[in-house]
């Protein structure tokens, strides 16, 4: 016999479209049916995914089954065997099929009636998905097929029908990365070479050139412009804004499409000339995949940092070329602050714009000639832990230094300790 699937209008959730295949004595009869369970007030899960795996289970005969004998006799018992075919794993949003086969293995006709329920391993609550009601003669079997299941969230989904349970995984298909990038690097002085580049403003400075090619997905150029770094052993160098003036140079807005090329320039001063380690994307909003991509640290633009510093005064600092050392005024000396990064990453922008040297008579701002000093502070970029930055200030010959530190509008949380 062919029975009609029931709908429980008060049950929780899941619109399940199904078809049934009735098999008797080797003859197959396929009947397409549309059945649905009532929708729930507290669950909005969709069902679905693909992959073929079989899990065979058996259940004891339910206690409320009708016992019917052949030919109308009240002898014999109807017992039922449940077999389930389901995938081992499917992806979020993937349509897949679930097949439940019920066979009457008893010696009498009977009615199979059980509620199909659904849940996840993350909860003890079960939702009513469907009511499976079948009239089966002895030896007869029937398949109930749910051909269009689809799930919208990753989880392990589990079902139960009477005493039979099964489960499978819904895998998260969200890409691990927003974009995959290949890149090459070269250090070049200004002028014509591999790249046609602008002349460097200062003697001895070079360009650290990174040529980016997104191979999967589009690369947000604004993200690179403000949050991409070239990492060396000692520092993270920020993007130089002359990048937009070169052929195929990136810009501060827009995107680089898959397969396109973008040139990124980083000013590379004579010191520290430490070895290039990789392109650092850890602060970028986009997640970037690729060979030699550094995405772990520092992770934020203004991370907490601990510093130790010492101060010395001199008329001609050894760490500053003479052409810049002579720029101090009459009756002035240089105060050289050596800043050791003991923990975290030092954002040099804060030192450049928001540091000050306090004396008995004044608060002095950083001299921008610091960028020419050995390991001098730059206006942008970061110093890695375990390394040193030099910050220079000009003060009057008779002034007494009290302390070095930051202004109140500093963006980093800084723990500062003086060593001397």
Cβ atoms within 10 Å, residue 105: 16
Q: What is the pLDDT of residue 74?
A: 58
Q: What is the pLDDT of residue 174?
A: 66
In this prediction, residues 151-178 reach a mean pLDDT of 88
For the ranges 12-26, 189-203, 316-330, 382-396, which has the lowest average pLDDT? 12-26
In this prediction, residues 71-75 reach a mean pLDDT of 54
Comparison of pLDDT for 324 and 37, the residue scoring more = 324
Among 150, 171, 192, residue at a domain's last position = 171
Instruction: Give the C-alpha separation, 33 to 13, whole Å.
Output: 19
In this prediction, residues 297-308 reach a mean pLDDT of 95
- My answer on whether 28 and 161 are in the same domain is yes
Domain range for 155 is: 18-171
Q: Is residue 312 part of a domain?
A: yes
- My answer on whether 191 and 332 are in the same domain is no
Q: What is the pLDDT of residue 192?
A: 76
Flag whether pLDDT at 11 surpasses 70. Answer: no
- My answer on whether 253 and 214 are in the same domain is yes
Contact 357, 390 (CB under 8 A): no
Q: What is the pLDDT of residues 176-228, one digit of tens each?
A: 789 999 999 999 987 778 999 999 888 889 999 999 999 999 999 999 999 99
> What's the domain count of the chain?
3
Tell me how far CA of residue 78 lies from CA of 108, 165, 174, in angstroms: 5, 21, 48
- My answer on whether 146 and 25 are in the same domain is yes
- My answer on whether 22 and 117 are in the same domain is yes
Domain containing residue 154: CATH number: 2.60.40.10
Residues whose CB is less than 8 angstroms from the CB of residue 107 and which lie 6 or more positions away in sequence, other chains included: 69, 70, 76, 77, 138
Q: Is residue 13 part of a domain?
A: no
Q: Is residue 87 part of a domain?
A: yes
Q: What is the pLDDT of residues 133-148, one digit of tens each?
A: 999 999 999 999 998 8
Q: What is the pLDDT of residues 239-276, one digit of tens each?
A: 999 999 999 999 999 999 999 999 999 999 999 988 99
User: pLDDT class for 23, splitting at 50, 70, 90?
Assistant: very low
Flag whether pLDDT at 372 surpasses 80. Answer: yes
User: pLDDT class for 76, splitting at 50, 70, 90?
Assistant: confident
Q: What is the pLDDT of residue 13?
A: 31
Among 134, 150, 171, residue at a domain's last position = 171
In this prediction, residues 68-89 reach a mean pLDDT of 78
Q: What is the pLDDT of residue 273?
A: 86
Mean pLDDT, the chain, whole residue set: 83
Q: Is residue 6 part of a domain?
A: no
- My answer on whether 57 and 129 are in the same domain is yes
- My answer on whether 267 and 315 are in the same domain is no
Domain containing residue 409: CATH number: 2.60.40
User: pLDDT class for 69, splitting at 50, 70, 90?
Assistant: very low
Across-strand partners of 399?
Answer: none
Q: What is the pLDDT of residue 205?
A: 92
Q: Is residue 5 part of a domain?
A: no
Phi/psi zone of residue 411: left (φ > 0), alpha (ψ -120 to 50 degrees), beta? alpha
Among 145, 171, 197, residue at a domain's last position = 171
- My answer on whether 190 and 160 are in the same domain is no
- My answer on whether 265 and 133 are in the same domain is no
Q: Is residue 264 part of a domain?
A: yes
Instruction: Give the C-alpha separation, 227 to 249, whole Å.
Output: 16
Q: What is the pLDDT of residue 154?
A: 87
Q: What is the pLDDT of residue 190?
A: 79
pTM (predicted TM-score) = 0.62
- My answer on whether 314 and 393 are in the same domain is yes
Q: Is residue 208 part of a domain?
A: yes
Q: Is residue 10 part of a domain?
A: no
Instruction: Give the C-alpha separation, 413 to 163, whole Å.
Output: 59
Comparison of pLDDT for 76 and 345, the residue scoring more = 345
- My answer on whether 354 and 379 are in the same domain is yes
29 is written with which tokens?
């009869």
- My answer on whether 322 and 371 are in the same domain is yes
Q: What is the pLDDT of residue 224?
A: 97
């Amino acid at each position: 016999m062919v029975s009609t699937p029931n709908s429980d209008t008060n049950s929780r959730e899941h619109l399940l479209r199904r078809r049934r295949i009735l098999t008797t004595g080797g003859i197959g009869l396929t009947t397409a049916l549309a059945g649905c369970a009532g929708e729930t007030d507290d669950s909005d899960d969709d069902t679905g995914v693909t992959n073929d795996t079989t899990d065979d289970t058996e259940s004891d005969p339910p206690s409320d089954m009708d016992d019917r004998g052949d030919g109308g006799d009240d002898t014999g018992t109807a017992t039922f065997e449940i077999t389930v075919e389901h995938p081992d794993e499917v992806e979020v949003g993937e349509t897949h099929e679930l097949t439940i086969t019920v066979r009457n293995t008893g010696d009498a006709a009977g009615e199979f009636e059980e509620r199909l329920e659904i849940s996840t391993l993350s909860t003890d609550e079960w939702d009513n998905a469907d009511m499976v009601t079948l009239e089966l003669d002895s030896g007869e079997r029937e398949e109930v097929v749910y051909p269009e299941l689809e799930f919208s969230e990753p989880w392990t989904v589990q079902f139960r029908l009477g005493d039979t349970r099964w489960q499978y995984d819904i895998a998260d298909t969200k890409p691990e990365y927003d974009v995959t990038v290949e890149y090459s690097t070269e250090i070049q002085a200004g002028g014509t070479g591999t790249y046609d580049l602008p002349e460097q403003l200062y003697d001895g400075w070079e360009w650290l050139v990174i040529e980016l090619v997104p191979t999967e997905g589009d690369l947000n150029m604004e993200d690179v412009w403000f949050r991409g770094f070239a990492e060396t052993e000692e520092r993270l160098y920020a993007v130089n804004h002359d990048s937009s003036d070169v052929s195929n140079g990136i810009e501060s807005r827009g995107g680089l499409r898959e397969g396109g090329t973008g040139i990124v320039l980083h000013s590379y001063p004579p010191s520290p000339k430490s070895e290039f380690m990789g392109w650092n994307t850890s602060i970028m909003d986009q997640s970037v995949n690729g060979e030699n991509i550094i995405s772990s640290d520092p992770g934020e633009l203004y991370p907490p940092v601990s510093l130790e510093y010492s101060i010395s005064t001199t008329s001609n600092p050894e760490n500053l070329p003479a052409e810049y050392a002579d720029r101090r005024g009459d009756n002035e000396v240089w105060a050289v602050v050596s800043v050791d990064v003991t923990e975290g990453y030092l954002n040099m922008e804060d030192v450049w714009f928001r540091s000050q040297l306090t004396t008995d008579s004044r608060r002095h701002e950083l001299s921008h000639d610091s960028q020419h000093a050995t390991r001098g502070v730059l206006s942008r970029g970061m110093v890695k832990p375990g390394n040193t930055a030099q910050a220079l200030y000009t003060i009057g010959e008779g002034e007494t230094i009290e302390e070095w530190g930051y202004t109140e509008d500093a963006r980093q949380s800084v723990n500062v300790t003086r060593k001397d």
